[in-house]
Amino acid sequence: MTESDLVQGCIAQNLACQRQLYDRYKTAMYTLAYRITGDFDDANSVLQDTFLAVFRQLPTFRQEATLGAWIKAILVRNAYKQTTKIKRLVAVENLPEDSSAINWNIGNMDAARLEQAILALPEGARAVFVLNEVEGYTHREIAEMLGISEGTSKSQLSYAKKRLREMLVIN
């Protein structure tokens, strides 16, 4: 089924089309929601809210971007709203305090340790870092999605990278 057929089926409230759309995008969207929120339950909530919004807003989808990109933009806004609503402290254990021996040799970095460090970032910095470094969005696109200025996006990315360097000292 083409993307256009899938959209038309969802607009017509065809449950099989809605299920197919959900199944096609749920894994990638959940992963992104988790990376932004840093919490499994919050990511599930964001995923659910996103797909409810997608099905409500599909009649306004102008197909100027891919369906996946459009869904991702809705998800990013929902995830960012979720992180600003819920303030939490993320405990990070066993991360070194000494930042004198920074080495970004990613080949030697434990993926779980990197993920843990990213999740420990404050929500704004984490969202910008994930959107820029993982998803490849520009600062202009991030600013539009999150309702912040480009300068704030750049500042948050710089802060995120600095904090990660401090947390990920490799001996």
Predicted local confidence at residue 50, as pLDDT: 96
The average pLDDT across 81-105 equals 45
| Whether the Cβ atoms of residue 38 and residue 123 lie closer than 8 Å to each other | yes
72 with 4, same domain: the answer is: yes
CATH of the domain at 114: 1.10.10.10
Position 56 pLDDT exceeds 60: yes
Would you place residue 103 in the very low, low, confident or very high pLDDT band (cuts 50, 70, 90)? Answer: very low
- Residues 123 and 36: their CA atoms lie apart, in Å, by 7
Length of the chain, in residues: 171
What are the distances in angstroms from CA 58 to CA 11, 12, 44, 63? 6, 10, 21, 10
Instruction: Give tens-digit pLDDT for 78-92.
Output: 888 877 654 433 333
39 with 117, same domain: the answer is: no
User: 120 lies in which domain range?
Assistant: 89-171
Predicted local confidence at residue 63, as pLDDT: 83
Mean pLDDT of the chain: 82
Task: Report the domain count for the chain.
Answer: 2
169 with 126, same domain: the answer is: yes
Would you place residue 24 in the very low, low, confident or very high pLDDT band (cuts 50, 70, 90)? Answer: very high
- Residues 131 and 141: their CA atoms lie apart, in Å, by 9
Of 52, 82, 112, the domain-final residue: 82
Cut 0.85: pTM above it? no
Would you place residue 157 in the very low, low, confident or very high pLDDT band (cuts 50, 70, 90)? Answer: very high
51 with 6, same domain: the answer is: yes
- Residues 65 and 146: their CA atoms lie apart, in Å, by 18
Of 82, 110, 126, the domain-final residue: 82
Predicted local confidence at residue 117, as pLDDT: 87
CATH of the domain at 9: 1.10.1740.10
In terms of average pLDDT, the best of 61-65, 72-76, 108-112, 113-117 is 72-76
Of 82, 113, 130, the domain-final residue: 82
